[in-house]
Amino acid sequence: MSFAWAKPYEPKTDIGRWIDERLPLPRLVYGAIGGGYPVPRNLNYFWNFGVLSGLFLTIQIVTGIVLAMHYYSYADGAFTSVERIMRDVNAGWLIRYAHANGASFFFVAVYIHIFRGLYYGSYKAPRELVWMLGLVIYLLMMATAFLGYVLPWGQMSYWGAQVITGFFSAFPLVGEPIRVWLLGGYAPDQAALTRFFSLHYLLPFVIAGVVILHIWSLHIPGSNNPTGVDVKDEKDTLPFHPFYTAKDGWFVGAFLTVYAVFVFFMPNALGHADNYIPANPLATPAHIVPEWYFWPFYAILRAFTVDFILPAKLWGVLAMFGSILLLFFLPWLDRSPVRSGNYRPVFKRFYLLLVVDVLVLGWCGGAPRNRSTSASARLPPPTISRTS
């Protein structure tokens, strides 16, 4: 169970007791989000982004299931089916814009959530598994978002799929066969689209499963707090309900308000105009850029331009994957006993440097590739790497 002083569930009604004896579901809910989960009193608003991430997973699943009712995963009909959703399905435009912008807001929430964990040392003992499960969720989210972006089968969908699956061909010998196997062909086509749809439908439910593990493992030690000092006794805590439900409640309203501004008044601001052009394998767009949440990684990929022992592209791919894999080892790499960045002046400086670095990388990754951005990588265009 959670903290030693966590209150056990006591059914108040006969029916409650009857159910609890047979299926302790009410007990589970009480322990997870009810009065049975004591939370430190001093959490700041950065602690709201976990609940927000969960909310956006739910929004994505609900809107996604409705989209899937009207979407066809045929290479020559997918684009049209998405346009039918926009034009002919009742409130279809709302469902689609909610889903497309929902993905972005999901990443906003998760990025803030991750950086919160980094700053306050939430990855340290005893929460290592909470942290690692969180990273698994993040990796799954990136896969899901990439797969989803391919589904409308516009120009960016197609060429994004081309470039991203091209990462695999950076690995010598096995790379190219793996790429062909993943795509079901030499270039994205019908086979790729159908399997991408299948996996895009599946992965969010895998994410939901990992989220349950993530929260389960959190509820053993309980939440960290801005001081990073363990809670001493019950007086330092408040039951999740009603205190944190109320604090999360209004903040959810505020966050959804910003989301609604995007969905209703600037729904294409975060997207790319080229994705309103149907996929055309014969016309390469002038600038192939992924969605904004991948920009920092795209910049890492493009920053390596010289061959040294390994080909430049492989350096880029390894650095990109490495930048995330490294985070899995963080609990053991950082051996300071102090958790919170508030009390670690040197750490605090490096943390700020990291934030600035990620923003700069994001800016470089989104900028069109040219020789003046230092990140300009001479990655062979996908068509060349395919034939070589």
Please give the backbone phi and psi of residue 128, each rounded to the nearest 5 degrees, phi first.
-60, -45
Considering the rule CB under 8 A, would residue 286 count as an interface residue with another protein?
A: yes
Whole-number Å distance between alpha carbons of 315 and 296: 16
Considering the rule CB under 8 A, would residue 312 count as an interface residue with another protein?
A: yes
| Least distance CB 135 / ligand HEM (angstroms) | 15
Binding partner of residue 120 among another protein, ligand HEM, none, CB under 5 to 8 Å per kind?
Answer: none
| Least distance CB 245 / ligand HEM (angstroms) | 24
| Least distance CB 92 / another protein (angstroms) | 8
Considering the rule CB under 8 A, would residue 18 count as an interface residue with another protein?
A: no
For residue 373, give the nearest of 273, 285, 288, 303 by alpha carbon. 303
Whole-number Å distance between alpha carbons of 55 and 74: 31
CB burial string 234-268: b at 16+ within 10 A, e below: eebbbbbbebbeebbeebeeebbeebeebbeeebe
Catalytic residues, by residue number, are 219, 223, 247-248, 291
Residues 6+ apart with CB under 8 A from 300: 316, 319, 320, 323, 361, 365
Q: Indicate the residue type of 388.
A: S
Instruction: Using the minimum distance from each CB to another protein, give the nearer residue, 276 or 328.
Output: 276
Residues in 41-60 that interact with another protein by CB under 8 A:
41-42
Binding partner of residue 181 among another protein, ligand HEM, none, CB under 5 to 8 Å per kind?
Answer: none
Residue 273: Cβ within 10 Å count: 11
| Contacts to ligand HEM by CB under 6 A | 57, 60-61, 64-65, 67-68, 71, 82, 96, 99-100, 103, 106, 141, 144-145, 148-149, 151-152, 200-201, 204, 207, 271
Binding partner of residue 141 among another protein, ligand HEM, none, CB under 5 to 8 Å per kind?
Answer: ligand HEM
3-state secondary structure 213-253: HHHHHHCCCCCCCCCCCCCCCHHHEEEHHHHHHHHHHHHHH
| Least distance CB 272 / another protein (angstroms) | 9
Whether residue 242 is preceded by a cis peptide bond, meaning omega within 30 degrees of 0, is yes
Instruction: Using the minimum distance from each CB to another protein, give the nearer residue, 41 or 349.
Output: 41
Q: How many residues bind another protein (CB under 8 A)?
A: 51
Task: Copy the structure tokens of residue 138.
Answer: 């993040």
Binding partner of residue 306 among another protein, ligand HEM, none, CB under 5 to 8 Å per kind?
Answer: another protein
| Least distance CB 84 / another protein (angstroms) | 9
Residue ranges of alpha helices (H) inside the chain are 14-22, 25-33, 49-70, 78-87, 92-119, 128-150, 155-166, 175-183, 190-218, 245-265, 295-303, 312-328, 330-333, 345-366, 382-387
Among 13, 257, 387, 388, binds another protein (CB under 8 A): 257
Chain residues in the site for another protein (CB under 8 A): 41-42, 80, 83, 86-87, 93-94, 97, 235, 238, 242-243, 246-247, 249-250, 252-254, 256-257, 260-261, 263-265, 267-268, 273-274, 276-277, 286, 303-306, 308-309, 312, 315, 318-319, 322, 370-372, 374, 376-377
